């Protein structure tokens, strides 16, 4: 079972300038820390430099402690 959903993988592939269905770098992406995947997905959606603020809001609002890994 993949570490991340297909939707997340598609965004990460596109951030690497690959086609959304090009699985050639999936092993590399699967090795990324969750924080990097979160940041790359936000950037793909045009939300730049907000990853830490959004992660803090999730923790404060939902009481879910997120891993502070890169």
Q: What is the pLDDT of residue 43?
A: 97
Residue 23 clears pLDDT 80, i.e. is over it: yes
Q: What is the pLDDT of residue 51?
A: 94
Q: What is the pLDDT of residue 67?
A: 77
Kindly report the CA angle at 67 between 20 and 60, in degrees rounded to 5?
105
pLDDT one-digit tens code per residue, 29-54:
999 999 999 999 999 999 999 999 99
Is the distance from CB of 40 to CB of 68 less than 8 angstroms? no
Q: What is the pLDDT of residue 69?
A: 66
pLDDT tier, 3 (very low <50, low <70, confident <90, very high otherwise): confident
The DSSP output letter for 64 is P
Distance between CA atoms of residues 62 and 5, nearest Å: 22
């Amino acid at each position: 079972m993949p570490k991340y959903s297909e939707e997340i993988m598609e965004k990460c592939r596109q951030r690497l300038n690959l086609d959304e269905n090009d699985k050639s770098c999936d092993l590399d992406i699967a090795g990324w820390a969750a924080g990097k995947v979160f940041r790359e997905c936000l950037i793909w959606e045009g939300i730049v430099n907000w990853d830490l603020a959004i992660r803090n809001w999730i923790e404060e609002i939902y009481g879910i402690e997120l891993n502070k890994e890169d």
